[in-house]
Structure 1
């Protein structure tokens, strides 16, 4: 009898995320995120799973209307409902605002998926160092 090892399970894609270190001072942007597509329904669960536990349970995500394709009013992410809203007046055309009741608000720069790896890496590193 020959034993074969099972095929390895595919690994989820790594989140391309740079988060600024904690600070007692408020900041306009708390980090940067470089999604792989403009499909928020696919990208948001991966982002939320990668956020620091200290940020708490994200229940609202507000995104720029120009950035994303289809956007439902809510979706199920990480075993809870996240309300989604689209705005044309966020901090800028490429941001996502994440809210966690009792914990706070975090704003991330969203690097468009079609950005070159070199430029995206520079932006992720810069926002991840923001003080």
Structure 2
């Protein structure tokens, strides 16, 4: 007999996004590549950007526990912030791979996203995001950020 599924999200609701995040994810299924998709934030202010991102990612991950990011790529932020009825930990690390964020759910699931810099040209950002979300893409972060770059 299989044990019942643990449902950590019962009674929990994520607030809806104020602004739809610019996000592309690989389809659910077997994991391929170094990232699970790409996110193009509007600014380098993680506290301002993360609520809308988590509102969308909570559909895939359930309640979110942590957001890990590279310290030097975002303006200084607090270590915990309220999201709905919960607190989410924001962990800035020097060793976090550049241009990525890792979002971890309470259930152990995680998503690693390529972060397209906010000032990127829209056409180029779109190309990068589509490449990162391709189901069979195995490019490195640097290779993805070079997509659409004129030499």
Structure 1's unaligned 5+ residue stretches are 1-10
CA contact (8 A) 2:79 2:90 kept: yes
TM-score normalised to structure 1 length:
0.83
Matched residue pairs, number? 120
Aligned equivalents of 1:20, 1:38: Cα separation in 2? 24
- Given candidates 20, 34, 38, the residue that maps to 1:28 is 34
TM-score normalised to structure 2 length:
0.73
Structure 1 ranges of 4+ moved more than 6 A: none
In the other structure, the counterpart of 1:124 is: 129
Structure 2's unaligned 5+ residue stretches are 1-16, 137-151
Residue 47 of structure 1 deviates from its aligned partner by 0.4
* Bigger relative contact order, structure 1 or 2 (CA pairs below 8 A, ≥6 apart): 1
Tell me which structure has the larger Cα radius of gyration. 1
- What whole-Å deviation, never above 9, does each CA across 1:21-54 have from its counterpart, x for those lacking one? 1122354211100000011111000101112513
- Structural RMSD (CA): 1.7
